[in-house]
Amino acid sequence: MKLKPLGQWICDVCGEVIQSPKDGYVQWNRNLNQEIDDFVIVHHFSASPKNTIEMDAINMIQIQT
Ligand SMILES: [Zn+2]
Backbone phi and psi for residue 39, each to the nearest 5 degrees, phi listed first: -145, 155
Q: Tell me the CA–centroid distance for residue 62 and ligand 1, in Å.
A: 14
Q: What is the amino acid identity at position 63?
A: I
**Could you read off the pLDDT of 2-18 as tens digits, one per residue?**
877 778 999 999 999 99
Report CA(18)–ligand 1 centroid distance (Å): 7
Ligand 1 midpoint to CA 16 (Å): 6
For residue 57, how many C-alpha atoms fall within 13 Å in the half-sphere facing its CB?
A: 0
How many whole angstroms separate alpha carbon 33 and alpha carbon 57? 21
> For the whole model, what pTM was predicted?
0.75
Q: For residue 17, report the distance from its CA to the centre of ligand 1, in Å.
A: 7
Per-residue model confidence as pLDDT tens digits over 20-55:
999 999 999 888 998 988 889 999 988 999 888 887
